[in-house]
Structure 1
Amino acid sequence: MLVSLFTCPLCHSPMQPAPDTWRCDGSLNPKQTAHTFDVARQGYVNLLPVQQKKSKAPGDSQASIEARKRFLNAGHYQVLQALIGQQMQQLLAKRGLEDEPSKTPANWLDIGCGEGYYTQAMAELESGLIDNLIAADISKPALVELAKVSKTTGKLWYQQDKDTSAGTTIIYPLVTSAANLPLSAHSMKGISSIFSPILPRAFAEVLTDDGYLIIAKPDAGHLASMREALFDDVREHDSDKFLQELSSEFTLIHTHRVSHELTLSANDLSDLMTMTPYAYRAKSEKRQALLDVVARQAFSTEAKFVVYVLQKAPNLSDAITHLL
C-alpha cells in the first residue's frame, strides 16, 4: 500500500489509489471534504483540474503521438533510450556504506512521459530497482497509449495485487501538470525529464534529499541537415542554458553525449517532422519540398543528444538546524 505518496491536486491532502476512484482524505481542505478522481477505463488517472489547464486539450495531439510511436518504435532514438536506462541503473544500484549494492526499491517520476517509449524501458530495468514508476504528462491521449501498453505487459498499477510478482516495477499513468505535481514532498528517488519542461523548485520539492534528476536534450548539431532544409535561419540548440537556473537546487555530477546516424525514408521523415515543433514552425512548402526529395532518395541526418545527471543539493539551512 502506498502511504501518502500521492496528494490531491486541489487541496494537497493525502490521497490513496483505488481501482475505481482515487479519493483524498480532505485533511488539508478548509471544508474538510474529500475530492474524488475517477480512474479511466484504460487505467490512467486524470489529476489535472480544469483550473490548471491553459487550453481545452493541452499537450501533444493524437497525430503527434501516433507519429512518435511509429518513429521511436522503429529504433531511431534507441541509443538515447539505452543511455538513460544505463544512467538510471547505475544511480539506483549504487553501493551503500557496507559496499553492498543497494536493493531498496525507489519511486521514480518520468515527467513529460508522452506515450511511454522511455518509460517502458525504465520499467524493464533490473528487478527491484524501481518500485513505483510515476508516468506524468499533460496530454490525455498520450497517457491513454501508455496505460494500454502498461496493462498489456502486466505493469499497470491496479494489476499489482493479482498479476505481478515481487520486484516488478508498477507504472502509474497520470495526467497532470509538471508545475503542480500531485506527489508528496521528498517521495521520489529520481526524476527523468526527456525533452520536457525543467522546473527546479517543483522537482526539488518532490525529490528525496539525495535524489537525482536526469535531463535529456537535443545537443548542438541535432538533426542539422533536416533543419537546414526546413529553415532559412537555423538556430543552434543551446542545450545547457537551463543549468544556471538549476544550480540553486541541484549539483551537476555527469554530462553524457551520444549520437546516431539516421537514414530515413519519406514516411520516417514525415513522422519525425510531425512529432517535433518543426511541424508548425517550418513553412508548409519547405516541408513538402523536402518530402518530395526524400520520396526519390533516402535522407541522412544525425541525431545528437546530451544527457545531464544532477543530484539534489543539500539544503544548507536544514543542515544547520540539524547540527544545532
Structure 2
Amino acid sequence: MHPKNTSHPFDVARQGYVNLLPVQQKKSKAPGDSQDSINARKRFLSHGHYGPLQNLISQKMAALLSKSEAIEEQDTQSVNWLDIGCGEGYYTQAMAQLGSGIIDNLLAADISKPALVELAKVSKAADRLWYQRNNTNAAKTTVIYPLVTSAAHLPLRSHSVTGISSIFSPILPEAFAEVLADDGYLIIAKPDAGHLATMRDALFDDVREHDSDKFLHELAPYFTLMGTDHVSTEMTLSADDLADLMTMTPYAYRARSEKRQALLELSKHAPFNTEAKFVVYILQKKASS
C-alpha cells in the first residue's frame, strides 16, 4: 500500500507513524487532539463504556467485507480500509482483530501526531505495525499504517481503498468517493439524539439536540444508504470517569467553568448516571461516482 505521488516530502518517525501533513495544511502548531484529551479518552474507553459501539462497528465491517468481491478476489487484490480521524486507535485496534485477517492494510489517519504516537506504540506491541509485516508467522495478519494527514487532503491513490470508517470524525463526500474503490463502503458513527443527555443538561442552560443525519443529503450524490443502526448503553460513572468524559468531548471547553466544577463536585458524593446513544450509518459508493 503506497500513497499517491505527492509534491511534498514525508517522513517516517522513529515511533512508526508516517507524517504526510505538509506545513501549509496545519492550522496550528500542534493540530488535533491534545495529549491531555488523548490520555483522558484512553482511560475512559479502557473501562469499556463505549464497548457496544466498538462491537457494532466491527460486526458491520466483518459482514460487509465477508461478502465483498474484494474478499473473493483476495489472491490478487488487497483489502485496504481507511479509518479517518482514528485518534489513538480504540476502534482501529478492534478492526485489526476481525477474523482471519479480513483486512490486509488498515490505514489509520488523524491530524493529531500525539494520538498516532499512541496508536503506533500499541500496534507495534501487537506486531501489527506496517514495517513488522514480515515478522509474524501468521498466514494473514492485518497491518496498521498510522498516518498523520488531513481528511480533506488524503494522500491516497484514487479508488485504492475498499472501505472507510468515520467515527465522530469529518464527513467529506468528494474526498471519500475519490479514494474509495467502485462499490466501496462507508461506515459513519455519530452521537444519536439523547446522547449524554443528563450530562449536557447539567452543563448547559440551553441544550441543542444532536441532528445526526443532517449530512446524509451531502452524501446522496456519491453514496447509497444501505442501513442505519442505533446502539445505546447506560453508564454509571465515577468522578474520575466523568472528568475524563468531559475532557474528551467538546463539552470541556463549551461549558462554563462553574458548571463543570459543580457537576464534578456532585459526582464525588455519588456515581453519575447517563446514557451514551449512537447511530451508525452504512453506505455504499454509487457506481457512477
- Fold-level match, TM-score > 0.5? yes
Instruction: Pick one of 106, 125, 129 that aligns with 2:102.
Output: 129
Q: Give deviations 1:29-88, integer Å, cap 9, x for gaps.
A: xxxxxx542211110011000011111111000000000000001100000000000000
> C-alpha separation between the residues in 2 aligned to 1:210 and 1:173?
25
Instruction: Pick one of 3, 8, 11 that aligns with 1:6.
Output: 3
- Residue type of the partner of 1:231? F
Match of 1:196 in 2: 169
RMSD of aligned residue pairs (Cα, Å): 1.5
The question of 1:168 aligning with 2:141 is answered: yes
The question of 1:80 aligning with 2:53 is answered: yes
Residue 92 of structure 1 deviates from its aligned partner by: 0.2
> C-alpha separation between the residues in 1 aligned to 2:68 and 2:147?
32
Contact 2:11 2:20 in 1 (8 A): no
Q: Residue 72 of structure 2: SS of its match in structure 1?
A: coil
Q: Residue 6 of structure 1: SS of its match in structure 2?
A: coil
Contact 1:79 1:260 in 2 (8 A): yes
Residue 314 of structure 1 deviates from its aligned partner by: 1.6
Answer with 1 or 2: which has the greater Rg. Answer: 1
- Residue type of the partner of 1:315? S
> C-alpha separation between the residues in 2 aligned to 1:243 and 1:43?
35
Q: Residue 235 of structure 1: SS of its match in structure 2?
A: coil
The question of 1:287 aligning with 2:255 is answered: no
> C-alpha separation between the residues in 1 aligned to 2:287 and 2:17?
34
> C-alpha separation between the residues in 2 aligned to 1:95 and 1:268?
39
Q: Residue 244 of structure 1: SS of its match in structure 2?
A: helix
Contact 1:47 1:174 in 2 (8 A): yes
Change (3 A) 1:280 1:313: same
Unmatched tracts of structure 2, length 5 or more: none
Higher percent of residues as helix: 2
How many residues are paired up? 286
- Residue type of the partner of 2:123? S
Listed as ranges, the matches of 1:236-251 within 5 Å are: 236-251=209-224
Residue 174 of structure 1 deviates from its aligned partner by: 0.4
Runs of 4+ in 1 over 3 A off after TM superposition: none
Instruction: Pick one of 295, 298, 318 that aligns with 2:271.
Output: 298
The question of 1:264 aligning with 2:261 is answered: no
> C-alpha separation between the residues in 2 aligned to 1:137 and 1:271?
21
- Residue type of the partner of 1:122? M
Contact 2:127 2:135 in 1 (8 A): no
Instruction: Pick one of 185, 191, 196 that aligns with 1:218.
Output: 191
Change (3 A) 1:164 1:287: farther
- Residue type of the partner of 1:236? E
Change (3 A) 1:194 1:95: closer
- Residue type of the partner of 1:74? H
The question of 1:102 aligning with 2:72 is answered: yes
Contact 1:92 1:102 in 2 (8 A): no
> C-alpha separation between the residues in 2 aligned to 1:103 and 1:124?
21
Higher relative contact order (CA 8 A, sep 6+): 2
> C-alpha separation between the residues in 2 aligned to 1:230 and 1:203?
35
Listed as ranges, the matches of 1:42-191 within 5 Å are: 42-94=15-67, 102=72, 104=74, 105-163=78-136, 165-191=138-164
Q: Give deviations 1:186-237, integer Å, cap 9, x for gaps.
A: 0000000000000000000000011000000000000000000000000000
> C-alpha separation between the residues in 2 aligned to 1:295 and 1:177?
39
Unmatched tracts of structure 1, length 5 or more: 12-34, 317-324
Q: Residue 179 of structure 1: SS of its match in structure 2?
A: helix
* Identical columns (%): 72
